[in-house]
Structure 1
Amino acid sequence: MSLSSIRHLLSVSAIAAAALLSVQAAEPNVPQIGCFISTGDNHWLGESLPIDSPAAIEDSMALLARLGVKCVYWRGLEEATWMETMTSRPENCRYDSAFHWFHQLYRDVHPDKLAVEAAHRHGMEIWGVGTLVDWQGPGDTPNFNDFPNGFESRLRLDHPEWVPRDRSGLLKQCGPIEFAYPEARKALVDLHMKFVRQDGYDGMTFVTYAENYGMRFQDEFGFNEPIVKEFKKRHGVDLLTQPFTRSASRFDWYNLRGEYLTQYLRELKSQLQHDGKKLGMILNPFEPRFTQPWNVPQIMLTAGHITVDLDTYVREGIVDHLMVWGYCSPQIQNKAVDDCLWLTRATPCKVAALTSSPFAPRWKPFQKKGVTIAMSLGDDASYLDRSNIPEQPLAALSSDDPVLRMRVLAQIIYGKTKATTEQVTPLLHDHNVIVRRLALSALGKLKDPAAVPSIEQGLDDEENAVRCAAALALRDNNRPESAAKMLGAVDMHGTHPLMEMVFHTMPRIKPAPREVLAEAASKHANPLVRSTAMRSLVFMTDVKLLPVFAQGLHDSDRFVRFAAAEALGNVRHSTEAVELLLQALQHEDPTVSDRAATSLAVIVAAHFPETDPLRARIVTALGELYAKLGDGCQRSDAEWGYRPVGNALLKMGAEGEQILQRFMDQKSDRQLALEAWKTLWIRQDSKTFSEVTEKENEEAFSHLPAWLRPPAAAK
């Protein structure tokens, strides 16, 4: 660490300690609260609380301490275990970019160890938050973006038997590792203990959902051999071939899976207890005795039905801490917190609740009962706006207390305090990272054209988090020259979150900077600039840009090629765009050919009169590409290419389905027939759950050709 960084930490700590004393003296009954930091999201999203450098981590922890936080729940434990075991699929360009950025942080910055040291320096506990069930999975699993799914842990890849299976044995679940295998439990215990010890956490807890859209119905997976054998031994029913009964029920199956989970937690607690560390669980507020749903609108338990045996956890002292998750109605969460308080009465187990409104009146009765209220917030300003620190006069911009300066800037951002550019601009040179970020955001919200050059200067700040804040502020206050300035920052610094901020800000610049972006996308020497520019053009396509997109399809950088194929799908009323995409279906890079298939489906769905006559050629070309994915396929998308290409065929209607049916009916290429069956009957698309009932799933399997059925399914 540099001498200037050390001085910064010492000065911030001294100021924070003095200010904390003054706040405590003024408000002696400030409730104890916690803070949940979802570190991977912060490292991806440039607008979230900054935690990507020593100075950013120190300033963020100092702020949390001033807000009354006594315990930080730090999801870096999950991120660290991912970096240790995860394999990236480079064909998912956006996620691969994030993957390399995360690796850079963990190689060069060591954010988790810095966070632990800073939290302890400011008098806070810090617990590592790990994942119970999210080790990602197969490339054909739907996710936030195009196929393939971006990652999969080597724990799953090296031990395919640990991956949860469906009843047929044909389908694999994305996310969990099955706890029924003792070797799997040991591997997970060893992995988590490595980082708990290495980084010095006070304890660890688990989120219990997996982030993917792979599950089609709630009881789809969990039929691995040890579970099937034990269920048959106990209940006399074969889970693979016989239905549940009253004496061999679904609940018996849920509980059996839960017994293996309980054993895993016992084994982990034994190791933690030996080191004087504590163990917690984060709970599903809707059904606390099952794992959590993912934080998307649909309430889907993405781990499946696994009993969370809270009674045993508390009775045996396996857990020391229960946190009730939010993202639900207050009534649901309140009931779950009350139930946890009753369950843990007369035990040392503590209860907490997660919320975005930590000082709301509804929490006061719970705080009197000792419940920790843990805030979960997004951008920097929200931490101040939703805090217990009262609003400050404009003069506090000149205060020696950085938190008071932050408070006023947040008021300006939320439109609660009027200010001028001249009053805010000096804070762009503040020693505190968060103050500089908030000052940039405030200048954006003021929308004074005179402030734009100052915002642009923030793109060259020494801190990545401040550069990201500058790009974000330019969404609200910019000029035509801002496009080139942002591309210059990408050229100079090129971090993943900065590129994400620039990519999302470019469409806000008026007039649309097509010429600047086209020049950069086609001629710039830096592939990070070319890809950022090409991605930005996806939002502002025009037939005049077709030569740029055509050239981009053959760029040396994969992300540029992918973005060019995506952009072509947004060019309206253009037969030339269709011709380019038809050619791209033959591209040697499956990332390009598969995205070309998706883009062609977008064009066909729009029913442009100019391109409708090309529909038959499109269907034929898609079928030819799909046919390459059968037995002996050596393409990098051999595992997952059938999803984007098959979904494009489905969007062609009856003509596409007929091609897929022919592939399914032929009997010379097993892989092709299986993929065609999945495309037609196990339908899944990106960015959504493709939900079916169990009866509909049985109907789908009734169409599986007999020669493809595994022995259990054939019975």
Structure 2
Amino acid sequence: MKGRSVSSNNMIRCSVALTGIAGFWALMLAHGTPPHRAPKHQDAVPGTLSMYVSVPDSHYDPIWEPLDSNATIASFFERIANVQKVSKVFWRGAQGENYVNLGIHRKENPSRFEFYSVWERYLYDTVGVNRIAVQEAHRRGVQLYMMASLFDFGASPEAEYWDTLPYGVEDATLASHPEWKPIDRFGERRQPGPYELSIPAARAYLVKRFTDQAVNGGYDGLFFYTYMENYATRFPDEFGYSDEAVAEFKQRYGVDPRKETFDVQKWRDLKGEYVSQFFRELSKAFHAKGKKLTVALSAANPNLPQEWPLSGGRVAVGATMDWQRWLQEGSIDELCVMGGTADAGKALVRKALPFRKSESISVTLLTDRPFSPDMQALVAEGAHLTGWGAPGQQMLRHNLKAVPAAGVRAGDWKDRSEALARIVRHEIKPEPSEVEKDIDDENPIVRRQALRARARLGPASANVFAGRLSDSEPSVRVAAIEALGMSGDAAAAPLILDRLRGDTNWIEKEVAVKAFVALRGVAQDQVLAALKDPSANVRQVAVRAIMGWKDKENTFFDQLRPLAQSDPDEVTRYYALQAILPIPDPASWDITIAGLDDPSSTVRSQATKNVASFASRLSGDRRKKAFAILKEQFGRYGQGSTLPDADWAWRNLGKALVRFGPEGSAALEAFRTQKNDPVLAFRAYLALYVPFSTGKFSDSSLEEDKRVHDTYSPGIR
């Protein structure tokens, strides 16, 4: 079969909408035969099948398999070990735990802040999901590898992502050791995301960090993917000009890459040597402790790090990935082909197999159809396969019984859960009463799926779902809120509101927003009344639900106005400013402009983004006032600024000033050319000439970067 793209645009849009997080994962898989004409699936050859499990995505979006308790994790490993015959799991939970305990989280991005500092911290530190996973995997003979990005350790707060600044999490060690961040040719800007691997001290730190984590966490190895999730790199060779790398390049070739035109391929080859050296050092430490190392590359560009998104994004680090040498030396124990078309993936696997130092080194292909005959044929040639443990994938459904509609309750919990999942997928439609019996099943996976399935069989009394709001399992409570939102029963609203007033959590609030959007037709008045609730959680959810109603008039402006102006909770004020942004009423502009002086940096951040959105429509005194405040505030972010958002808020302010047209650009030019504050001058230069946008890459090149720098940069004096 001719190779085809490993993902559709629909999948990309879906993943952006569902995760935004901790992650936009956007994994592109090598496909087997399409399901509508698939031959009979084959079981995996023992010891050849792994699974890629993106744990933070499971914690972020309720359509993923729940991995948030002892019971759900035990059930997950029981199924994949006994039914799908998985022998190894690449577990992204270790990266999630690092983001929690080794990361800096900034409150000015409220959703990310609560996700990492409250919800994820509870799951990793209190529940102990990674500890449970190690235990449940090993008791079933499954190896568990921790997962990390080779080049992505979070990002400094000014880095753009899918959502609002500041970036959700920054590695605390990188923040305290900025000299370990890759630097640009001019010695002025640091790259958000990676450690500079040409610096021996940085490599040594990472070797110790990962070795200690693997040993102390009980993991069997480490899986590195090689893409980086932020939009702060404009071209692959923008950063990485450390003293060590530059000195070595000059010694070899007599050229200073910081100042002279240089051979880009030779430079990338040198940068790749430092990656290879890091793998040698890490593998030595790992092998001494009985641990193994897996590295992922894309079949689309195997000699460079993976693109992000893998569907045709950008390589963030210009370094040659010398995978042939890694396999020959044994400095890695496994190469994972992750990204590219089916044909390209198979071809790279076949090309890589002969390079192995020994057959103990594996080459694996990440695919969404590991049980298809064409993929199993690849195993016969010596390859391994890795399946994608995401919603709707063949990986999680293989070998489960196709229980008919009349037998929803037949079989063990795994088959019952799959039967209920078929209802969710609209493949079967039993009587609602049959499904309702499973809402009280002893297994939490079945209870969760029963709630989701019953909700898709049509309207129901809220009482059908109400009892599960106090379930001991987080994923079941979430499914109950989701089901109540789909019930069409006005009685659902007070039940959800009562839950939000209690010991709720981040994911319950997220699902409650969607539930109240769905319940608008029967519960609008209850949601509006909730704007005055004593609970900040309730008010936040109510405001966001009203945003989700997407009312094209200013119907709810009077109700939202007091929350945007003076709610005692800064996060509620933040969301209320978001909610009034689309309202075409100058009074809403006045509230936003007043928000520029809010005592909360969180609220000021949202107010600044609001003003940037409608700056072109402002006129007269209102325009003068907004412009004056923005200009004055940008001036606060110079040398010695002690503001809590000093490292990044100038980016938002600069964007807003630019939206004022020539007047705003002139103000930034004045800041750039003044001589009293070099930090302020440099930030004005970046705002004008090195701009970034939310949700997309900015473009440049070696030549253009040098031209802009030499023409406009005031330098770091």
Return the TM-score normalized by structure 1: 0.88
The alignment of Structure 1 onto Structure 2 pairs a total of residues equal to 671
Q: Once the 2 structures are TM-superposed, how far is the Cα of residue 231 of structure 1 from its aligned partner?
A: 1.2
| Counterpart contact for 2:560–2:580, Cα < 8 Å | no
Q: Once the 2 structures are TM-superposed, how far is the Cα of residue 320 of structure 1 from its aligned partner?
A: 1.5
Q: Once the 2 structures are TM-superposed, how far is the Cα of residue 553 of structure 1 from its aligned partner?
A: 4.2
| Counterpart contact for 1:550–1:580, Cα < 8 Å | no
Q: Once the 2 structures are TM-superposed, how far is the Cα of residue 346 of structure 1 from its aligned partner?
A: 5.3
Return the TM-score normalized by structure 2: 0.88
Q: Once the 2 structures are TM-superposed, how far is the Cα of residue 195 of structure 1 from its aligned partner?
A: 2.0
Please name the residue that 1:196 is paired with: 214
Q: Once the 2 structures are TM-superposed, how far is the Cα of residue 710 of structure 1 from its aligned partner?
A: 4.7
Could you tell me which amino acid in structure 1 is paired with residue 646 of structure 2? A
| Counterpart contact for 2:99–2:169, Cα < 8 Å | no
Please name the residue that 2:227 is paired with: 209
1: CA distance between counterparts of 2:395 and 2:437? 20
Please name the residue that 2:665 is paired with: 657
Please name the residue that 1:436 is paired with: 447
2: CA distance between counterparts of 1:368 and 1:186? 39
2:378 corresponds, among 366, 375, 388, to 366
Q: Does 1:33 align with 2:42?
A: no
Secondary structure of 1:280's match? strand
2: CA distance between counterparts of 1:518 and 1:418? 36
1:266 corresponds, among 246, 258, 280, to 280
| Counterpart contact for 1:136–1:175, Cα < 8 Å | yes
Q: 1:405-452 CA deviation, whole Å, 9 max, x = no partner? A: 1221122122221212101011111122221121122112212x1254
Please name the residue that 1:145 is paired with: 163
2: CA distance between counterparts of 1:149 and 1:346? 43
Q: 1:4-29 CA deviation, whole Å, 9 max, x = no partner? A: xxxxxxxxxxxxxxxxxxxxxx9995
| Counterpart contact for 2:571–2:603, Cα < 8 Å | no
Please name the residue that 1:294 is paired with: 308
Please name the residue that 2:328 is paired with: 315
2:180 corresponds, among 162, 171, 195, to 162
1:278 corresponds, among 292, 296, 299, to 292
| Counterpart contact for 2:60–2:507, Cα < 8 Å | yes
2: CA distance between counterparts of 1:285 and 1:474? 44
Secondary structure of 1:353's match? strand
Please name the residue that 2:254 is paired with: 236
Identical-pair percentage: 28
Q: Once the 2 structures are TM-superposed, how far is the Cα of residue 313 of structure 1 from its aligned partner?
A: 1.2
Please name the residue that 1:533 is paired with: 542
Please name the residue that 1:17 is paired with: none
1: CA distance between counterparts of 2:269 and 2:143? 34
1: CA distance between counterparts of 2:71 and 2:232? 39
Change (3 A) 1:511 1:632: same
2: CA distance between counterparts of 1:312 and 1:385? 35
Change (3 A) 1:477 1:650: farther
Q: Once the 2 structures are TM-superposed, how far is the Cα of residue 539 of structure 1 from its aligned partner?
A: 2.6
| Counterpart contact for 1:543–1:574, Cα < 8 Å | no
Greater Cα offset, 139-148 or 515-524? 515-524
| Counterpart contact for 2:54–2:389, Cα < 8 Å | no
Please name the residue that 2:5 is paired with: none
2:431 corresponds, among 420, 433, 453, to 420
2: CA distance between counterparts of 1:233 and 1:553? 62
| Counterpart contact for 1:382–1:410, Cα < 8 Å | no
2: CA distance between counterparts of 1:484 and 1:192? 48
| Counterpart contact for 1:33–1:71, Cα < 8 Å | yes
2: CA distance between counterparts of 1:537 and 1:665? 45
Change (3 A) 1:296 1:627: farther
| Counterpart contact for 2:56–2:96, Cα < 8 Å | yes
Please name the residue that 2:113 is paired with: 96
2: CA distance between counterparts of 1:701 and 1:623? 24
2: CA distance between counterparts of 1:558 and 1:355? 45
Q: Does 1:62 align with 2:75?
A: no
2: CA distance between counterparts of 1:286 and 1:212? 20
Q: Does 1:595 align with 2:606?
A: yes
Q: 1:644-682 CA deviation, whole Å, 9 max, x = no partner? A: 121122223333223222322333332322222111110
Q: 1:228-258 CA deviation, whole Å, 9 max, x = no partner? A: 11111222111211110xxxx2222212222
Change (3 A) 1:583 1:296: farther
| Counterpart contact for 2:79–2:414, Cα < 8 Å | yes
Q: How does 1:65-144 map to 2 (within 5 A)?
A: 65=81, 66-100=83-117, 101-144=119-162
Q: Once the 2 structures are TM-superposed, how far is the Cα of residue 109 of structure 1 from its aligned partner?
A: 1.6
Q: Does 1:470 align with 2:476?
A: no
Please name the residue that 2:26 is paired with: none
Please name the residue that 1:709 is paired with: 715
Q: Once the 2 structures are TM-superposed, how far is the Cα of residue 391 of structure 1 from its aligned partner?
A: 1.9
Q: Once the 2 structures are TM-superposed, how far is the Cα of residue 267 of structure 1 from its aligned partner?
A: 1.6
Q: Once the 2 structures are TM-superposed, how far is the Cα of residue 164 of structure 1 from its aligned partner?
A: 0.5
| Counterpart contact for 1:503–1:536, Cα < 8 Å | yes
2: CA distance between counterparts of 1:395 and 1:120? 37
Secondary structure of 1:446's match? coil
Could you tell me which amino acid in structure 1 is paired with residue 315 of structure 2? L
| Counterpart contact for 2:297–2:336, Cα < 8 Å | yes
Change (3 A) 1:668 1:455: same
| Counterpart contact for 2:337–2:349, Cα < 8 Å | yes
Q: Once the 2 structures are TM-superposed, how far is the Cα of residue 698 of structure 1 from its aligned partner?
A: 2.7
1: CA distance between counterparts of 2:475 and 2:343? 37
2: CA distance between counterparts of 1:553 and 1:387? 54
Q: Once the 2 structures are TM-superposed, how far is the Cα of residue 515 of structure 1 from its aligned partner?
A: 3.7
2: CA distance between counterparts of 1:518 and 1:72? 46
Could you tell me which amino acid in structure 2 is paired with residue 251 of structure 1? Q
2: CA distance between counterparts of 1:98 and 1:322? 32
Change (3 A) 1:334 1:433: same
1: CA distance between counterparts of 2:619 and 2:414? 58
Change (3 A) 1:313 1:423: same
Please name the residue that 2:19 is paired with: none
Please name the residue that 2:635 is paired with: 627
Q: 1:91-131 CA deviation, whole Å, 9 max, x = no partner? A: 22111111122222222122112111111222322222122
2: CA distance between counterparts of 1:255 and 1:44? 38
Greater Cα offset, 655-664 or 184-193? 655-664
2: CA distance between counterparts of 1:27 and 1:146? 44
For the aligned residue pairs, the C-alpha RMSD in angstroms reads 2.5
Change (3 A) 1:547 1:631: farther
Please name the residue that 1:335 is paired with: 347
Secondary structure of 1:692's match? coil
| Counterpart contact for 1:92–1:149, Cα < 8 Å | yes
2: CA distance between counterparts of 1:28 and 1:622? 63
Change (3 A) 1:232 1:554: farther
Q: 1:47-94 CA deviation, whole Å, 9 max, x = no partner? A: 211111101110111121222222111112222333332121222211
Secondary structure of 2:638's match? coil
1: CA distance between counterparts of 2:588 and 2:333? 60
2: CA distance between counterparts of 1:389 and 1:370? 27
Change (3 A) 1:521 1:257: farther
2: CA distance between counterparts of 1:696 and 1:106? 45
1: CA distance between counterparts of 2:74 and 2:457? 29
| Counterpart contact for 1:480–1:510, Cα < 8 Å | no
Q: Does 1:251 align with 2:265?
A: yes
Change (3 A) 1:548 1:27: closer
Could you tell me which amino acid in structure 2 is paired with residue 619 of structure 1? F
2: CA distance between counterparts of 1:512 and 1:221? 55
2: CA distance between counterparts of 1:121 and 1:369? 30
Unaligned runs of at least 5 residues, structure 1: 1-25
Please name the residue that 2:527 is paired with: 517
Change (3 A) 1:473 1:336: farther
| Counterpart contact for 2:300–2:341, Cα < 8 Å | no
Change (3 A) 1:28 1:181: closer
2: CA distance between counterparts of 1:384 and 1:467? 26
| Counterpart contact for 1:552–1:564, Cα < 8 Å | yes
2: CA distance between counterparts of 1:178 and 1:339? 30
